[in-house]
Structure 1
């Protein structure tokens, strides 16, 4: 990892933070992409402290804004000549329907479209690496998902599970299609299910009910550090050199849903996404 440059999205907390720490510990030059300056600066201090690596950089970007992503890409190109590792980790899930600054349903907009645009804008730098890796954090929730092409933004019918599972299936379709497009190069693309990771989960812990639920569920959840283990494995393991287009859980390859392997579905989502983010 010495001398390699890695970018981790959503690096201010949870699995993203621990992925950044892990990469920094291995000697990589780590760029933490965060939306909040305040939380990002706190996380930056923690990464440097725990990794004993000062080659860690904080860059701000809102994955719910195409303008912000394009501005970030320009700044990243100004600072760096190559990108060896990209970990698309950031994700949101919300009980109520909200929209990005560009008018897209927030979970689809951030979890899929934001990372789709970001990855494509950075591909030229990734291709400059002798051996690059793109890691896409999906979820087992993709198995419940469907791409609602007739209502991608779920304006007609919304619920949290429907929106989240659609975005996580989109992550996999994107990862697989990207791996096909880059199969003859020096870039591998793999996806993963991080497992159930302990976080706030949208629960207000200050209420009696919130504390009760948190206490009861806690034994079934991994710590964020444990949840980051598969991301770290895909980003750094020597035995994965040249392995691409796979889906992992607990550092082992597993099968994803049948529809995630549908080539026509992969291509259709890619083509629509290109138009939605303004690449076509």
Structure 2
């Protein structure tokens, strides 16, 4: 009898957790006809789900990613799902500053609008380096998107009101920035946490700089998502993580909801610079709201990517 009760309680708990994972949903169905949306890493996971949602709403959608074969497949699938033929892909390697500059030059020549920029692509905690000798996490997650956004900022201002949405993670709370070693790469998980904190500071400073200029910015924690980020690790790790993700992580569709909300909802414009979780503005740890640190990071990032 005790065993039966234990099994029943465990099953109920498991089903409750699964329900909790699916309760998030963006209820705003605003159309985006005539708008152009650029999404980095839009060929899979949260990015693909977001791209599909934008296409369903009528936007012109451009997914920017490194793997052109996967991008072409994703574009075909997004078009089929959304019945929107205005979906395209462009090559972009966020681990290479020259690739980012080339991408932006081509984009600005080809595209006359940019209404929503979604900095979605991300690198998990791996011990590796970019082509420009930055730690992979910090280089891709922060510096790559920092350069990309800055090079496209003029077009965003021309198309105001426009939005910049940058994906972060609640793991930001486990580390603080060390300005003596922003390129820290000794423990990959700590580097990842710092890169996600940098995303939050970047969003806050961007919002401050764009105040009154028609460009708003938001950082989004999508939850812990059942995506393909484990592809960077060993087979054994992937097998273990598949079980854990099935039990406790949200689907890519659920993870995309807060991103979609920040892209379309009118109410978020009152919270430019805000940190969003579960389709609502959430609180941050006090150290993650330091305007002085945000400004210092912006200036350091300008030097690192050679904007200053």
Q: TM-score, normalised to structure 1's length?
A: 0.94
1:124 aligns to 2:146 (yes or no): no
Q: 1:40 to 1:84 in 2, by over 3 A?
A: same
Q: Within 1, Cα distance between the matches of 2:161 and 2:245?
A: 40
Deviation at 1:242, TM superposition (A): 4.6
Q: Within 1, Cα distance between the matches of 2:56 and 2:241?
A: 34
Mapping of residues 26-105 of structure 1, within 5 Å: 26-95=57-126, 97-105=127-135
Residues 128-163 of structure 1, C-alpha deviation per residue, up to 9 Å, x if partnerless?
Answer: 1131011111110111121121122225xx112201
Deviation at 1:81, TM superposition (A): 1.5
For 1:253, the equivalent position in structure 2 comes to 281
Residues 212-240 of structure 1, C-alpha deviation per residue, up to 9 Å, x if partnerless?
Answer: 54224412111111100000000011232
Q: Is the 8 A contact 1:61 1:69 kept in 2?
A: yes
Runs of 4+ in 1 over 3 A off after TM superposition: 203-207, 209-213
Q: Is the 8 A contact 1:205 1:214 kept in 2?
A: no
Q: Is the 8 A contact 1:248 1:254 kept in 2?
A: yes
Q: Within 1, Cα distance between the matches of 2:44 and 2:77?
A: 10
Structure 2 unaligned segments of length 5 or more: list them.
1-31
Q: Secondary structure at the match of 1:266?
A: helix
Residues 16-49 of structure 1, C-alpha deviation per residue, up to 9 Å, x if partnerless?
Answer: 1111000000000001011111111111111111
Q: Is the 8 A contact 1:142 1:257 kept in 2?
A: no
- Deviating more after overlay: 210-219 vs 233-242: 210-219
Mapping of residues 129-278 of structure 1, within 5 Å: 129-154=159-184, 158-202=186-230, 207=236, 210-278=238-306
Is the radius of gyration larger for structure 1 or structure 2? 2
- The number of aligned residues is 276
- Calculate the aligned-residue CA RMSD, in Å: 1.6
Structure 1 unaligned segments of length 5 or more: list them.
none
For 1:11, the equivalent position in structure 2 comes to 42
Q: Secondary structure at the match of 1:127?
A: helix
Q: TM-score, normalised to structure 2's length?
A: 0.86
Q: Is the 8 A contact 1:127 1:186 kept in 2?
A: yes
Q: 1:152 to 1:216 in 2, by over 3 A?
A: closer
Q: Is the 8 A contact 2:223 2:250 kept in 1?
A: yes
Q: 1:49 to 1:241 in 2, by over 3 A?
A: same
